[in-house]
Structure 1
């Protein structure tokens, strides 16, 4: 499996051995962690003062401020340990704000996201899945602490994706025990910021691309069942309804969405913009 253009970021490791070993039976999604070697490379010097990137500077870096609201310090507050937000919790559908403050709190949030993802046997996780509605994701396609590469992406944007699509059986930590075939682009090129606010571009293919696209969908408020065919969706419809009923019992509130109301509604297949 080729992960294009990551030599600068991942200079001492390769995803290839772990992916070859696990790709036959990994059902997506959500697993992640922080290896110490990668952290030294990807998460540079800790600052005593927050680093804020102005909106004008973000625009110069290729990130348009015209649509995305900027996250406040309150938006980035969290309590450890983090817990996975399950469907149909409305936080999975909220607009996720752009991050422009890069401080120790953000690094701590990334640490905690990796931690909860390993504990829940995932290979990728987005911030809205732990109730923090900002544009942040972490993943490690190897899915094992200390193996593969840990990747944290802030305000990611897709700059290019392949027209070639592939089908894969995906799962999601926000949908425990539910799996279904999803078609996605086989490769993708992205622009993003790291946790210190430095911009970079990277390309992913095969499993890393799929993990990224699944998590990127979460940042757009898109859930994986919306990319399934009606036939596949019908095979998990009862499980989705069970989650809706569980939400109503646990919260005493009506489910904010019903799968029965989504018949025939799908988002564009294979990628998110």
Structure 2
């Protein structure tokens, strides 16, 4: 077994840091503590194995070229067009995919994040990694491939989010309290699980990246006004 690919199983824990990128002294609005996530951890943790998913629409699936990457990976910053590009589904679950997921975790920890999507490191495929604890060796390291949301809670919650592709920018985003998802793990095994609290929030942020949606797209006009100047300075974005 490759080193670092079998983290200890623990339930998700709530984190006091702003979502997906951290800053000191931030006070995000509280969420309910997430419930135990052992079923997800047992099935979606990083592991070994190889399989190939069904291929109903071959043109929608990533080729070996699409999955090629060079180390060390770096976080792509907005307005790089890769963040808006189409992200292909993955059908090959091999050592290269595991290596990509492993390096994404390394980048996430080095940049003080708790979630990262493949397009954020320049690879346009349906892959995300996250660990709500935000510290290597703590919490759960989850890899999700080809995720789909099939049900969202009606109750919506506001929480302050950041994004590694928008360093230093934070704003309140309204999202469903919980989601039910289908996905595959890094071995190709199918996953069907409900996420709530912090894991649900992190998942939804990263899932948006896989759809080419960025967190400021979800902000209300009032919130956008509070971060508009920062967006203009950091990325040249004319948001208002």
Q: TM-score range by the shorter chain?
A: 0.7 to 0.9
- 1:88–1:243 CA contact under 8 A, matched in 2: no
1:145 is aligned to 136
1:42-191 alignment to 2 at 5 Å? 42-46=45-49, 51-56=51-56, 65=57, 69-191=60-182
CA apart distance, 1:242: 1.3
Task: Tell me the secondary structure at the aligned position of residue 259 of structure 1.
Answer: coil
TM-score by length of 1: 0.74
- 2:43–2:191 CA contact under 8 A, matched in 1: no
Q: Going by fraction, where is helix more abundant, 1 or 2?
A: 1
Task: Tell me the secondary structure at the aligned position of residue 76 of structure 1.
Answer: coil
Instruction: State whether structure 2 residue 11 is matched by structure 1 residue 14.
Output: yes
Task: Tell me the secondary structure at the aligned position of residue 54 of structure 1.
Answer: coil
2:190 is aligned to 199
Q: How many residues align?
A: 216
Match 1:216 to one of 207, 213, 234: 207
Task: Tell me the secondary structure at the aligned position of residue 66 of structure 2.
Answer: helix
Provide the rounded CA distance (Å) in 1 between the counterparts of 2:238 and 2:126. 26
RMSD, matched Cα: 2.2
In 2 relative to 1, CA 181–45 (structure 1 residues): closer, same or farther, beyond 3 Å? closer
Deviations 1:67-102 (A, max 9, x none): x71101000000111000001110000000000011
Provide the rounded CA distance (Å) in 1 between the counterparts of 2:46 and 2:17. 28
Task: Tell me the secondary structure at the aligned position of residue 132 of structure 1.
Answer: coil
Provide the rounded CA distance (Å) in 1 between the counterparts of 2:191 and 2:42. 16
Task: Tell me the secondary structure at the aligned position of residue 55 of structure 1.
Answer: coil
- 1:158–1:190 CA contact under 8 A, matched in 2: yes
Provide the rounded CA distance (Å) in 1 between the counterparts of 2:43 and 2:190. 17
TM-score by length of 2: 0.84
Provide the rounded CA distance (Å) in 1 between the counterparts of 2:206 and 2:43. 24
CA apart distance, 1:203: 1.1
Provide the rounded CA distance (Å) in 2 between the counterparts of 1:207 and 1:77. 31
| 5+ long unaligned stretches in structure 2 | 1-6, 23-40
CA apart distance, 1:259: 2.6
CA apart distance, 1:46: 4.1
| 5+ long unaligned stretches in structure 1 | 1-9, 32-37, 57-64, 246-257, 264-273
CA apart distance, 1:53: 2.3
